[in-house]
């Protein structure tokens, strides 16, 4: 869960690399570093903390070279210290390496290299790469890396410079994202194409233990047998995105307020009102293939898993297809049954989530067709799935996902509609569903207009350290997502439960110091939920209700009510989610927490 950036070309490599790291900081912000070759020596700078600290130190040192590798770290092995920061070196500092991933056999490699007399400076798994490559170096750095790669177990992406090759970067990747941007007389390397998209839209992706030698004018790629291979350039759409806060205090707040537009983007040109169905540009399966689907398995982690849980209700209710939602990190270690006519859907905002990619591989090995749902064109999910629906949400910088979640729900709603219209749903019902979908941006704007009300309620409850989030049916996974947002950015212990399960144990924890956030915007189960709230109120538990306009019976039970516009149950998760995002944001703000880059978390989870 780290960000790699590299540059070789005529421009100031240090300046370009620092700007690239700033766009990768969502991937890790424990420490940052940069290295290059100058006058046949490795020159470097490493700092604990965010990229800004590295930028300041680099300016003080007045570093300047034309080839650079850089890194922003999220710690997996070793504390965030200067010694543990990347780049890492061999003992004589003849080479520098930056790395994303985990070397699973680093302990045995370290012992072997230490037995050979090599001395280590850090606690990291990455340092073994530097020493291992150096141990094989006899004047040919490419061969040294090629010798080392088979001994390094696990997913990895690396970029390396050597003092004897001042105009080169050696890169390698296995099951971890690494893209090469091809410019005019310059080449870029990054974990995320958005980091160099302002410079070039032509890209080459590495995978499957491939190693590449990069100069300002050439890219030579070799497979795991050391045979040279030709890689096709791909052209990315769009230009580099503006990742400024645009006057907002935090990226998260900006991204919350972008949701009316990102929902519009997710819907744009993806349905036909005349026929009451969806036209999903990314779904290239034939009609016969889609009609033959008898079961759907959804693979996802974290927020994407919550979106998958909502989608399961949607697809089963509307299309009458059985859906199984699996946490990716668990699925890959199960002996799961994938029968004929099973469609697997892989959900990942970044498209680089390691556990979801591993689960995809497991499903494909059993013969499954895979439909990806992600936000990043050219990501590994988008490339490895049989076809992919893109969210069109734009870059999401805040670690806690907001607009990507509601875009996922929007796209998955369209998918459920398409599958339902192919089977059992009438055109009239399809048209009615589309009318409600089209109302969503305006409904979200209505919720956002209540931010001052939500902020005052958040201030009232910000001093509590334990919360319950409850809901029924569609509102249960919505409650899980709301609880996750509060945990992520405010560090409050927030637990989500189906409302009917509270009396089966969790209600023992309810007292006047434990508020409950109740998601009430599900008309089918509303009366039952009121009964559950009465049970909580009888035990002195404070209650914040998120309920639809006109919903009755709450005033005597709840302490505070936040109202959202009425919409069908199938889509009610979206406005209720906007409320929970704002509630979490303002509670975290009141508590003085780090909102965009919360402790211990990184945006793109590229390690297992």
The model's pLDDT over 126-182, given as tens digits with 9 standing for 90+, comes to 999 999 999 999 999 999 999 999 999 988 999 999 999 999 999 999 888 899 999
What is the per-residue pLDDT across 188-244, written as a single tens digit (0 to 9) for each?
999 888 889 889 989 999 878 999 999 999 999 999 999 999 988 888 876 555 567
**How far apart, in whole angstroms, are the C-alpha atoms of residue 354 and residue 177?**
10
Establish whether 2 is a catalytic residue: yes
Least confident of 364-378, 403-417, 481-495: 364-378
* Mean pLDDT of the chain, nearest integer: 91
**How far apart, in whole angstroms, are the C-alpha atoms of residue 244 and residue 89?**
34
Question: Which residue matches tokens 């890790």?
Answer: 28
Domain with CATH 3.60.20.10 in the chain: 3-235
Given the residues 50, 254, 380, 603, select the one marked as catalytic.
603
**Between 67 and 82, whose confidence is greater?**
67
The closest of 395, 330, 324, 392 to 356, measured between CA atoms, is 330
Domain with CATH 3.40.50.10490 in the chain: 251-447, 455-591
Torsion region of 63: left, alpha or beta (phi above 0 gives left; psi -120 to 50 gives alpha): beta
Q: Which CATH number describes the domain made up of 251-447? A: 3.40.50.10490
**Topology (CATH) of 455-591:** Rossmann fold (3.40.50)
Establish whether 537 is a catalytic residue: no
What's the Cα-to-Cα distance from 99 to each of 14, 86, 599, rounded to whole Å?
Answer: 18, 8, 21
H/E stretch holding 311: helix 302-319
Report percent pLDDT > 70 for the chain.
Answer: 97
Given the residues 2, 45, 309, 388, select the one marked as catalytic.
2
Q: Is the domain 3-235 a CATH 3.30.1050.10 member?
A: no
Mean pLDDT of 344-368: 91
| pLDDT score for 603 | 57
């Amino acid at each position: 869960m780290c960000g790699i950036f590299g540059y070789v070309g005529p421009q100031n490599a240090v300046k370009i690399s620092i700007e690239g790291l700033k766009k990768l900081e969502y991937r890790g912000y424990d420490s940052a570093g940069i290295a290059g070759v100058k006058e046949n020596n490795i020159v470097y700078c490493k700092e604990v903390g965010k990229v800004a600290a590295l930028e300041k130190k680099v300016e003080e040192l007045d570093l300047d070279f034309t080839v650079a590798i850089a890194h922003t770290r999220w710690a997996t092995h070793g504390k965030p210290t200067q010694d543990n920061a990347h780049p890492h070196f061999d003992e004589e500092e003849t080479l520098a390496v930056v790395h994303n991933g985990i070397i699973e056999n680093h302990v045995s490699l370290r012992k072997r290299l230490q037995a050979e007399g090599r001395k280590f400076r850090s606690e990291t798994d990455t340092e073994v790469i530097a020493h291992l490559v150096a141990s094989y170096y006899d004047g040919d750095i490419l061969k040294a890396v090629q010798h080392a790669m088979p001994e390094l177990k696990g997913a990895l992406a690396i970029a390396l410079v050597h003092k004897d090759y001042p105009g080169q970067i050696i890169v390698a990747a296995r099951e971890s994202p690494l893209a090469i941007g091809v410019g005019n007389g310059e080449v870029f390397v990054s974990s995320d194409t958005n980091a160099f998209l302002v410079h070039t839209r032509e890209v080459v992706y590495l995978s499957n233990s491939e190693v590449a030698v990069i100069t300002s004018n050439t890219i030579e790629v070799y497979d795991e047998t050391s045979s040279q291979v030709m890689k096709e350039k791909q052209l990315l759409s769009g230009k580099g995105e503006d990742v400024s806060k645009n006057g907002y205090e935090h990226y998260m707040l900006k991204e919350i307020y972008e949701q009316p537009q990102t929902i519009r983007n997710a819907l744009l040109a993806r349905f036909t009102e005349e026929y009451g169905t969806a036209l999903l540009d990314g779904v290239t399966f034939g009609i016969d293939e889609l009609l033959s689907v008898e079961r759907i398995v959804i693979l996802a982690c974290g927020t994407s898993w919550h979106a998958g849980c909502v989608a399961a209700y949607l697809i089963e209710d509307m299309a009458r297809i059985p859906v199984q939602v699996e946490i990716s990190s668990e699925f890959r270690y199960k002996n799961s049954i994938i029968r004929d006519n099973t469609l697997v859907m892989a959900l990942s905002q970044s498209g680089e989530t390691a556990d979801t990619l591993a689960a995809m591989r497991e499903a494909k090995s059993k013969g499954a067709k895979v439909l990806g749902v992600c936000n990043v064109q050219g990501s590994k999910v988008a490339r490895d799935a049989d076809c992919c629906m893109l969210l069109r949400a734009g870059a999401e910088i805040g670690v806690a996902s907001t607009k990507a979640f509601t875009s996922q729900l929007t796209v998955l709603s369209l998918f459920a509609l398409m599958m339902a219209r192919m089977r059992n749903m009438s055109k009239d019902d399809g048209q009615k569903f589309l009318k409600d979908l089209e109302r969503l941006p305006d409904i979200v704007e209505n919720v956002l207009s209540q931010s001052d009300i939500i902020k005052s309620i958040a201030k009232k409850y910000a001093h509590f350290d334990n919360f319950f989030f409850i809901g029924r049916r569609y509102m249960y996974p919505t409650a899980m997502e709301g609880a996750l947002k509060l945990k992520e950015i405010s560090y409050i212990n927030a637990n989500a439960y189906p409302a009917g399960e509270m009396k089966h144990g969790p209600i023992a924890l309810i007292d006047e110091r434990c508020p409950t956030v109740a998601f009430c915007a599900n008309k089918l189960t509303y009366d039952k939920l009121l009964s559950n709230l009465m049970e909580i109120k009888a035990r002195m538990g404070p209650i914040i209700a998120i309920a639809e306009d006109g919903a009755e019976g709450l005033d005597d039970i709840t302490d505070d009510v936040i109202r959202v516009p009425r919409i069908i149950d199938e889509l009610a998760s979206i406005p209720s989610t906007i409320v929970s995002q704002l509630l979490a944001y303002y509670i975290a703000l009141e508590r003085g927490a780090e909102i965009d880059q919360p402790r211990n978390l990184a945006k793109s989870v590229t390690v297992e």
